[in-house]
Amino acid sequence: MPDAKPIYVLNGPNLNLLGTREPEIYGRVTLAEIEVACAERAAQLGRGIVFRQSNIEGELVTWLQEAGDKAGAVVLNAGAYTHTSVALHDAIKAIAVPVIETHLSNPTAREDFRHVSLVGKAAKGVIAGFGATSYLLAIEAAALLANES
């Protein structure tokens, strides 16, 4: 698939601190290492990636809108915005490409406020709780969904 649209991998607040931030929950893998692993897995599936991180909600909204035109699918780890952002929910609903919500930890096994996902209510599916492997599973799901469209 040489003309295949890339998979956008979008990361929300505090994910730039992976590797040092609460490693007992999030592990010691850095976001840069996750990016390399995602690029390798996507390439095996005939896809490229666009990998971004922002602590700013509006940037994530803008990138989702961009992905609506330029991506085959989106993998989104919205971090804490998962539980609070109507704007991200609405941006996902506004685009036709499939969005896979992903998390390193399992939010439903954590604090009560993490049990509700506004992102998940708009996403095609959710992959969570497998550490950095969650991203690779999400890349596989995104590639499969992109191939269907």
Listed residue (64, 69, 85) closest to 9, CA to CA = 64
| Helix 133-148 with 31-44: angle, nearest 10 deg | 40
10 Å CB burial of residue 78 (0-12, 13-18, 19+) is: buried
Q: Tell me whether residue 83 is one of the annotated catalytic residues.
A: no
The two structure tokens encoding residue 149 = 């469209």
Q: Given 8, 26, 81, 135, which residue is catalytic?
A: 26
Q: Is 89 tagged catalytic?
A: no
**Active site residue: 8, 81, 89, 103, which one?**
103
List, by residue number, the catalytic residues.
26, 103
